[in-house]
Each structure stands twice: as C-alpha cells, then as structure tokens.
Amino acid sequence: MASRNPPLGRNLLIGAELLKLREEQNMTINAVARKHHHSPTWLSTVENGFTTVRADDLDDLLTLYDCGDARREALLYLARSGRRRGWWNDFADEIPPVQRDHASLEADAMAIFEFHMQLVPGLLQTRDYTREIFEASRLVEPERFSALCRFREERKRLLLDGTPPHYQAIISESVLGLVVASPAVLRAQLTHLLEMTELSHVDVRIIPRSHGYHSGTDGNFAILDFKPAGLLRHVNRGALVAIPPIVSAPGTHKYGQNAAALAEFALPSTESREFLGRVISGT
C-alpha cells in the first residue's frame, strides 16, 4: 500500500480547531456526520488534517459548533486563503507540498518567531549563504539545489514586500562564527543580517555563549501566529517534512512560553545589533 502524504500544516491547524470545537459541544463524529450529511470517515480525515475542507463545509460545521465570531473569521480566512494562487504554486513540480504550504502560511501570519542554534534563519539568508548550505547538505540531492535556492529567494520577499508580518529571530552566538564556504560569504551574511535589523518589523536577538545553558538547547523551532492575536498558532520543529507541526494546546502554549523566555534571555535589540557589529568588525 502506498504511504499517505503527510498532512499540510494549514489543514492540521483547521482540523485541530474543529476537533476542539466538536469536543466542547460533547458531540461524537457520528452525530456530527448525521447532521452535516458527510461520512464519519470524511470528518475524521478533516480533523486529522488529511483532507482540505471547503469554506462552505467549514462554515456549516462552525455554525453547528456555535463557534464565536473571531474564531470563525480566522478559520474561514485560513480556509479561503489556502485556495488562492501564490508564488509557491509555481514550484509545484519542484518543491514538496509541505514546504509550499508552510510558505503560504508565512504569507498569512501576523507574526513569526524563529529560534536557531546552528544557522541564520532562511528568511534572513543571503543567496550565497543559502546556496552553500544546500550544497554542503548530504540530505539534498544536487539536482534540487537550484529549485530550493529559488524557492528560498521568493520566501525572503515576505519581509520586504507589501505588509510584512512582525518577525523576531533569536540566534545563538555560535551561528555568527560558523564559516559557510568562506569567511567572505559569512561576512556578507552577517552584514545583511545587520541591515535587516534596520527594518521596523524585524527584531534579531543574540544569545551570547557567556549566557550559558538555556531552554532553546532542545532545538530549532518556528512559531506562526495568525489574526486575531491569541487564537491560532502553528509551531514547526526542525525539518518541515520529518516532524509534524504542533497546532493545538498545550503544545503551542509551551513553545510560546519558550519563545518568551528566550527573548528575555537574549540580548536586547540594540545590544544585539552592537554585538553583531563587533563580530563583523572581527571577521
């Protein structure tokens, strides 16, 4: 039997909310299926993220669950925007669906938080830094380098075009000293990183080695928050394809607390810029 493709993050987020709403109403899948004129199997695949629910079906379910206006609006927006055509659709033959779905979620997010221990986050990378990372990775086939680099270049426009989300990145000092390909590539990357911090919606914080052990040593993660604030959250840990995202509490709440703790532990924005400037002067 062929393996099932991993569920998309957008579908998981919507499905988890529908499951939560159904349980709050103390309704079984069979009871909902009878009222909604869909099979229990269909509803189960929706709740588990394996089926993309149409906006009209979602609207009917939200009415059945007596969903509040703010959550209804947020979920319907995610469902409708997921069907729009974006730049990521141009990579349908080259980039896996999970990665394209993540790019579309980034475009819908009101705020993005990222923590990285090893590398500069993708949205802040230079073209040369990105290319060298992919070429050095044994997990990426050489024939995919070009598509992956072009895909990341498009992703990076999120912070430069239109109405960008608020973006905060926390990175370890070790990232600033990891030579990728050559000192020149690293210096150009760090200079670009410093330039990006001049944007009012971009906040980059550094955790110096001298600060010691911290909660981020468990690994990289990214948090996407959607409007209205405080209702919907999507957490990615490590590789997008290998590890399913977290889309429901208490997991999302835990990572939110972790992000806040890391922001407190890191140098403030101004001090981080000064720290980065000193590193660049020494490269």
Domain count along the chain: 2
pLDDT-based confidence at residue 244 (cuts at 50, 70, 90)? confident
* Neighbouring residues of 187: CB distance < 8 A, sequence distance ≥ 6: 280, 283
Question: Considering the domain boundaries, does residue 88 fall inside one?
Answer: no
CATH number at residue 114: 3.30.870
pLDDT recorded at residue 80: 94
pLDDT (0 to 100) of residue 3: 45
Express each pLDDT in 14-53 by its tens digit.
999 999 999 999 999 999 998 888 899 999 999 999 999 9
DSSP 8-class letter at 114: E
Average pLDDT, integer, range 247-263:
90
For residue 241, is pLDDT > 60?
A: no
Q: Based on the fold, state whether residues 214 and 138 are members of the same structural domain.
A: yes
User: Is residue 69 located within the same domain as residue 136?
Assistant: no
Which residue from 178, 166, 189 is spatially nearest to 269, judged by alpha carbons? 166
Q: Could you tell me the two tokens for 205?
A: 């914080």
CA dihedral of residues 15, 16, 21, 23 (deg, nearest 10): 110
Q: Is 17 helix (H, G, I), strand (E, B) or coil?
A: helix
- Residue 13: pLDDT band with limits 50, 70, 90: very high
Mean pLDDT of the 148-158 span: 95
Say yes or no to pLDDT of 147 above 50: yes
- Report how far apart, in Å, the C-alpha atoms of 8 and of each of 29, 71, 187, 221, 241 are: 22, 20, 36, 17, 10
55, 176: one domain = no
Is there a single domain that holds both residue 157 and residue 230?
A: yes
Q: Is residue 199 part of a domain?
A: yes
Mean pLDDT along residues 225-244 = 81
- Quickly list DSSP for 74-99: HHHHHHHHTTS--GGGGGTTTS-HHH
Which whole number is the average pLDDT over 237-261?
82
Instruction: Answer yes or no: is pLDDT of 242 > 60.
Output: no
Task: Give the residue from 5, 18, 13 showing the smallest Cα distance to 98.
Answer: 5
Gyration radius (Cα) of the chain, Å? 20
Q: Specify whether 146 is located in the same domain as 22.
A: no
Rounded Cα gap, residues 105 and 107, in angstroms: 5
Q: How confident is the model at residue 164 (pLDDT cuts 50, 70, 90)?
A: very high
pLDDT digits (tens, 9 = 90+) for 82-106: 988 999 999 999 999 989 999 999 9
pTM reported for the whole predicted model:
0.92
Q: And the tokens for 42? A: 């269909």
Asked whether residue 43 falls in the same domain as residue 115, the answer is: no
pLDDT given for residue 1 in this prediction: 37
- Whether residue 250 is preceded by a cis peptide bond, meaning omega within 30 degrees of 0, is yes
| Mean pLDDT computed over every residue of the chain | 90
89, part of any domain? no
d(C-alpha 213, C-alpha 211), whole Å? 7
Q: Do 149 and 257 sit in the same domain of this protein? A: yes
Please tell me whether residue 166 adopts helix, strand or coil conformation: strand
Q: Is residue 196 part of a domain?
A: yes
Q: Report pLDDT for 203.
A: 98
Range of the domain at 176: 108-282
